[in-house]
Amino acid sequence: MSDFHTVISGGVVVTEASQERADIGIADGRIAAIGAGLRGARVIDASGRLVMPGGVDTHCHIEQLRADGTTDEEGFVSGSVSAFAGGTTSVVTFSMQFKGQAIGPSLAAYRERAGKAMVDYAFHQIITDATDEVIRDEIPALAAAGIRSLKVFLTYDPLHLDDRGYLRVLAAARRAGMLVTVHCENYEAIGWMTEALLAAGLSAPKYHAWSRPVMLEREATYRAIALAELVDQPIQIFHVSCAEVAEEVARAQARGVKVWAETCPQYLTLTQEDMDRPGFEGAKFMCSPAPRGADAAAGLWGQIADGTIWNISSDHSGFSFEGDRGKRAAGPAPNFRDVLNGVPGLAARLPLVFSEGVSAGRISACDFVRLTATNPARLFGLQEKGRIEVGADADLVLWDPERRVTLTNGVMQHAIDYTPYEGRVVTGWPVLTMRRGEVVMQEGVVTARPGSGRYLARGAYEFIRPAGRLPNGFDASAFG
């Protein structure tokens, strides 16, 4: 007589708080029991494995709509395969607002595309135009539709918001009960530097990093935090590239501001030097903020360990190296200003963080779970995800902590034609991924059915409630 549909037996169960041998009983797609000697109709032997929550990747550009009616190359089906191959079971992707347009139609089109997903998914809404209609009507409508996070860009043409637009979004988010995520780089200074570099004939991929050095990310991060402080609106700083930037976050956290920081594996493993490879090869490593100097990773690991950095996501970006939709969309070797920014990393995220973090002795397996699953779920209101607890979704990954794997583009199983981690050897590997109790990946073979992913509608949640610290006690967000 079996008590559960499935039992994962004999593994070491890792949560953010503990690591101990236990069985997990699964019924109706949820974790029903954690204990010893559990009996299931199906038993999965996890001896020698770590059993961890499936990864929660809260920064993924998947099938993102473009203004010309096309999309980024990574699709919801290929992105799901890649996510499962790398041990990730939930993603948050981006619905785009096009400047001069309402949000509603592009969100509806994006939702339809996402219906093919196999991974469970939620959306951030990018706000590029803080019109009266967006602020008054559309942002509250997003909350009602289960979208509880907005992304604003302080740089990039044509996406960026000026400070007034950013403030309007912060205030609207405060009224609607949402988190604001921010891309922090100084728009005007990058534009000025870019023009100077190109005028000097410095156009190769490596000059992308010269156009946007650390102080421009640091300045924008300080400004993003200061304006959030003015409104008393919680924010997360996306893709923090180095210690100098994280220091701004740490200082604000110390004075009680509700600000969280995310970093990504590319800032822990790639450097500015990678963009200096021969020919156009350096474009494979171009993302914004740019990878920094060789000592940046050590600084970031310090701030991961001390809790300043809370979340490690992939910032997976669906641009191939070849072809006319990716890095070479503007020609065979365009100048750095015309190269799409971003690197793919959905499948590589967990193996890289485990290898560089846990296997290298920088963090514990519990820290790994917290940084890649539990904290992201907590911060973005994904209540059923990122935890191994009775009642949580049975999203699990069985991990072989000893297995050494050479990363290749084939192993990533994404739709992109390269990985910036080609040839890198990692220690620790996901051997089985389970989404809501269903085995969706075993030894690299993904078996989920397109359309089986679930949209994760998010309701109001306590974690992102404003701190209640307004300058002079005046709540300007109530007026505009």
For residues 268 and 242, the answer to whether their CB atoms sit within 8 Å is no
Nearer to ligand URP, 67 or 460 (CB): 67
Name which position in 23, 63, 232, 315 contacts Zn ion (CB under 5 A).
Answer: 315
Q: Does 183 bind Zn ion (CB under 5 A)?
A: yes
The residue to which tokens 């219906």 are assigned:
115
Q: Which does 319 bind (CB under 5 to 8 A by kind): Zn ion, ligand URP, none?
A: none
Nearer to ligand URP, 131 or 266 (CB): 266
Please, what is the minimum distance in Å from the beta carbon of residue 217 to Zn ion? 11
Tell me how many degrees the CA angle 78-83-87 measures, rounded to the nearest 5. 150
User: CB under 8 Å to 230, separation ≥6 — which residues?
Assistant: 167, 471, 476
**What are the DSSP calls for 155-211, one per residue?**
SSTTT---HHHHHHHHHHHHHHT-EEEEE---HHHHHHHHHHHHHTT--STTHHHHH
Nearer to Zn ion, 238 or 301 (CB): 238
Please, what is the minimum distance in Å from the beta carbon of residue 187 to Zn ion? 13
Find the part of the chain contacting Zn ion (CB under 5 A) among 50-58, 105-113, 230-238, 395-403.
230-238
For residues 121 and 436, the answer to whether their CB atoms sit within 8 Å is no
Nearer to Zn ion, 94 or 399 (CB): 94
Q: Which does 208 bind (CB under 5 to 8 A by kind): ligand URP, Zn ion, none?
A: none
Calculate helix-pair angle for 187-199, 214-231, nearest 10 degrees: 160
What mask of x and - would describe binding to Zn ion in positions 261 to 300, judged by CB under 5 A?
A: ----------------------------------------
Q: Which does 248 bind (CB under 5 to 8 A by kind): Zn ion, ligand URP, none?
A: none
Q: Does 148 bind Zn ion (CB under 5 A)?
A: no
Q: Which residues bind ligand URP (CB under 6 A)?
A: 61, 183, 239, 287-288, 315, 317, 341-342
Q: Which does 80 bind (CB under 5 to 8 A by kind): Zn ion, ligand URP, none?
A: none
Compute CA 458 distance to the chain's CA centroid, rounded to the nearest angstrom.
17
Residue 55's alpha-carbon distances to 128, 142, 240, 247, 375, in angstroms, are 29, 25, 20, 27, 11
Binding residues with Zn ion: total (CB under 5 A):
3
Neighbours of 455 (CB within 10 A): 15
- C-alpha 173/C-alpha 437 separation (Å) is 35
- C-alpha 315/C-alpha 184 separation (Å) is 14
Q: Which does 287 bind (CB under 5 to 8 A by kind): Zn ion, ligand URP, none?
A: ligand URP
Nearer to Zn ion, 313 or 355 (CB): 313
- Characterize 195-214 residue by residue with b for buried, 16 or more Cβ atoms within 10 angstroms of its Cβ, and e for exposed: eebeeeeebbbbbbbbbbbb
Nearer to ligand URP, 351 or 420 (CB): 420
Find the part of the chain contacting Zn ion (CB under 5 A) among 31-39, 238-246, 303-311, 360-368.
238-246
Q: Which does 236 bind (CB under 5 to 8 A by kind): ligand URP, Zn ion, none?
A: none
For residues 154 and 161, the answer to whether their CB atoms sit within 8 Å is yes
Please, what is the minimum distance in Å from the beta carbon of residue 177 to ligand URP? 24
Coil vs helix vs strand at 395: coil
Nearer to ligand URP, 327 or 436 (CB): 327
For the chain, the distance separating the N- and C-terminal CA atoms, rounded to the nearest angstrom, is 62
Find the part of the chain contacting Zn ion (CB under 5 A) among 279-287, 291-299, 312-320, 400-408.
312-320
Please, what is the minimum distance in Å from the beta carbon of residue 315 to Zn ion? 4
What are the two backbone dihedrals, phi and then psi, of residue 458, each rounded to the nearest 5 degrees?
-105, 135
Please, what is the minimum distance in Å from the beta carbon of residue 151 to ligand URP? 8
Q: Which does 303 bind (CB under 5 to 8 A by kind): Zn ion, ligand URP, none?
A: none
Nearer to ligand URP, 175 or 337 (CB): 337
Nearer to ligand URP, 6 or 82 (CB): 82
Six token digits for residue 168: 């309007």
Residues in contact with Zn ion by the rule CB under 5 A: 183, 238, 315
